[in-house]
């Protein structure tokens, strides 16, 4: 009998480029490693406020570094991520509350669509290669309406608070439940460490598909 899959919770926000990178790597490994990947749409604004942290781009050199870093990681991790021209107005001023409420609604009503819709939202902000997520206009409209209900607002609030209780000061965080222990790992650049904790093999950010478990 195969061992029980380990639960990995990925807390993310589509405002966060590194959330996208972590998301794609974990999505690739969910059919390779013995894991149960649970996506947790969260609100990074709430986490920043609660932890007393600030967005990295507010330190000019960090913003500059991020732009270069994402250029390199695009090639290395093979994700079509690009720093948007109007980063500050799109990202920092408009924020992600509606998008994350929308994803929360998707997770409540159509969890099987959460991965695709999340990816589509990232594509819209962080890429020029946006595709359709496969949702009908009616479905999307219905979910948009549900997004402003207290049920969805509260769910997003609870998920964000859960991330804070795990010690988040930003996103993404991956929470790995392994052999009765809980490890919170920040960022998209600790996946090799995560593999080590899971006792799994790290095959780089773009693992060969033929290793995929059928």
Active site residues: 16
Region from 60-68, 95-103, 110-118, 152-160 binding other proteins, contact rule CB under 8 A: 60-68
Find the binder of other proteins among 65, 80, 98, 141 (CB under 8 A).
65
The footprint of other proteins on this chain (CB under 8 A) covers a number of residues equal to 31
How far is C-alpha 27 from the geometric centre of its chain's CA atoms? Answer: 10
3 binds other proteins (CB under 8 A): no
Q: Which is nearer to other proteins, 144 or 193 (CB)?
A: 193
Separation CA 93–CA 12 (nearest Å):
19
Residue 88: CB minimum distance to other proteins, A: 17
168 binds other proteins (CB under 8 A): yes
78 binds other proteins (CB under 8 A): no
Q: Which is nearer to other proteins, 17 or 205 (CB)?
A: 205
Residue 211: CB minimum distance to other proteins, A: 17
Q: Which helix (H) or strand (E) holds 58?
A: none
Region from 28-36, 105-113, 127-135, 165-173 binding other proteins, contact rule CB under 8 A: 165-173
100 binds other proteins (CB under 8 A): no
C-alpha R_g of the chain: 17
Q: Give the position of tokens 């997520």.
A: 133
Cis amide bond preceding 172, omega within 30: yes
200 binds other proteins (CB under 8 A): no
Residue 5: CB minimum distance to other proteins, A: 21
49 binds other proteins (CB under 8 A): no
Residues that bind other proteins (CB under 8 A): 51-53, 59-62, 64-65, 68-69, 72-73, 75-76, 167-169, 183-184, 186-187, 189-190, 192-193, 196-197, 202, 204-205
């Amino acid at each position: 009998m195969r061992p029980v899959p380990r639960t990995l919770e990925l807390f993310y926000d589509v405002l966060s480029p590194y959330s996208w990178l972590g998301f794609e790597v974990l999505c690739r490994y969910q059919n390779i490693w013995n894991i149960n990947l649970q996506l947790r749409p969260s609100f990074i604004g709430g986490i920043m406020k609660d932890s007393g942290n600030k967005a990295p781009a507010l330190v000019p050199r960090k913003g500059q570094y991020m732009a270069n870093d994402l250029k390199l990681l695009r090639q290395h991790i093979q994700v079509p991520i690009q720093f948007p021209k109007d980063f500050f107005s799109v990202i920092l001023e408009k924020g992600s509350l509606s998008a994350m409420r929308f994803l929360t609604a998707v997770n409540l009503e159509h969890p099987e669509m959460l991965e695709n819709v999340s990816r589509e939202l990232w594509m819209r902000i962080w890429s020029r290669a946006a595709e359709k997520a496969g949702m009908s206009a009616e479905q999307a409209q219905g979910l948009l309406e549900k997004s402003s209900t207290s049920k969805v607002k509260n769910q997003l609030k609870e998920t964000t608070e859960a991330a804070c209780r795990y010690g988040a000061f930003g996103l993404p965080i991956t929470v790995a439940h392994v052999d009765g222990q809980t490890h919170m790992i920040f960022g998209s650049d600790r996946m090799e460490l995560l593999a080590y904790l899971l006792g799994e093999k790290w095959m780089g950010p773009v693992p060969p598909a033929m290793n995929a478990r059928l």
